[in-house]
A and B are shown apart, each in its own frame.
Chain A
Amino acid sequence: MAIQVNRGVIGKEYPAYVITVERGKIKEFARAIGDLNQHYLDDAVGRASPWGDIIAPPTFPITFRDERADAETLLRDLGVDVSRVLHGEQEFEVHRPIRPGETLTCRTRIVDIYEKAGRSGPMAFVLRETSIVDRAGDLVGTMRHTTVVRL
């Protein structure tokens, strides 16, 4: 049976959410990757660095999520099951490194949904973009996340 993705959610903006960057989460994330760069792990190295503290690895913003929202919201909006989805593409723009203790506001919207024939059959591509803004209102980074749905 062919699966349909609900294209009605193109343009949908999700409620903004605020995250506080935790020192321990930065270190846990770097260690999980096996990236032992001391700028991510050693507070003394961080203090002596141009940034004055440890910084997060470039892909760390993938951990930012709305803790109050239901994790299944996107799947429900698309009308698909978790077993059908794959991570197709991912982009990060980094305007400056992220440090522990920062309070950041994230806003996600669904930019586009399009269908293409993949190697293993028809697929839908769902492009989401998340902007990350600091307390001063400056853009810290942008994430673009393409989810592939096996139809």
Chain B
Amino acid sequence: MKYAKVYFEDVQVGDEMPALVKGPIRQIQLTRYAGASGDFNPIHQDPEFAQASGMGGVFAHGMLSMGFVAQSVTDWLGAGTVRELGVRFTALVRLKDVVTCRGRVVGTSEKNGERLVELEVWAENQRGEKVVTGRATAAIPSRLD
């Protein structure tokens, strides 16, 4: 369930994060993200420019996909829990693509009084190709708090 509170004691290595499905990607979202982020690279807006660059047309900001991945973690574990998030952009996200964010718990630990959940995270398109791969660490509450 979205935004349910998840406690450290309930998380086990191997658990899967609930999938988050975003898209289909539309040009208006890329324009909106450009305005919100300040990244006005025409490669995300201008089909002629994107073709001339040899990139085969407009594609989404990598940071938009990373924002989706961050959302997938916070939808599950809560806003304000993310301590680290690192990703590689492994394939381009195109207009009309559907991006599904997934993850899996790969470790749990305690550090500086915080209970940490370490996740392998990724996002894939509608053909199952990974467009983002990475790791996330989140600090979540304990039932003992």
A residues in contact (CB < 8 Å) with B: 25, 28-29, 31-35, 37, 39-40, 49-51, 55, 57-59, 62-63, 65, 82-84, 86-95, 97, 144
Q: Which residues of A contact B54 (CB under 8 A)?
A: 83
- Residues of B in contact (CB 8 Å), total 39
Q: A33-B68, A34-B29, A37-B74 are in contact. Are A90 and B83 (CB under 8 A)?
A: no
Asked if B85 and A92 make an inter-chain contact with CB atoms under 8 angstroms apart, the answer reads yes
With beta carbons under 8 angstroms apart, the residue of B36, B49, B74, B84 that contacts A29 is: B36
- Residue among A32, A37, A57, A58 with the most chain B CB within 10 A? A58
Q: Which residues of A contact B67 (CB under 8 A)?
A: 32-33, 35, 57, 59
B residues 4-45 near A (Cβ < 8 Å) are 22, 29, 32-33, 35-39, 41-43
Asked if A65 and B32 make an inter-chain contact with CB atoms under 8 angstroms apart, the answer reads no
Interface string of B53-64 (1 = CB under 8 A from A): 110000001111
With beta carbons under 8 angstroms apart, the residue of B37, B43, B86 that contacts A90 is: B86
Asked if B38 and A91 make an inter-chain contact with CB atoms under 8 angstroms apart, the answer reads no
Q: Which residues of B contact A34 (CB under 8 A)?
A: 22, 29, 68, 71
Beyond A32-B35, A51-B80, 8 additional pairs, beta carbon < 8 A: A32-B29, A32-B37, A35-B70, A35-B71, A83-B43, A83-B49, A91-B84, A91-B87
Q: Which residues of A contact B89 (CB under 8 A)?
A: 86-90
How far, in Å, is A12 (CB) from chain B's closest CB?
21
The complex places the Cα of A57 from the Cα of B87 at a distance, in Å, of: 16
Interface string of B91-127 (1 = CB under 8 A from A): 0000000000000000000000000000000000000
Asked if B79 and A37 make an inter-chain contact with CB atoms under 8 angstroms apart, the answer reads yes
Cβ-based interface call for B52 (8 A): yes
Asked if A58 and B53 make an inter-chain contact with CB atoms under 8 angstroms apart, the answer reads no
How far, in Å, is B56 (CB) from chain A's closest CB?
11
The complex places the Cα of A140 from the Cα of B112 at a distance, in Å, of: 16
- Residue among A31, A39, A90 with the most chain B CB within 10 A? A90
The complex places the Cα of A51 from the Cα of B81 at a distance, in Å, of: 12
Asked if A29 and B37 make an inter-chain contact with CB atoms under 8 angstroms apart, the answer reads yes
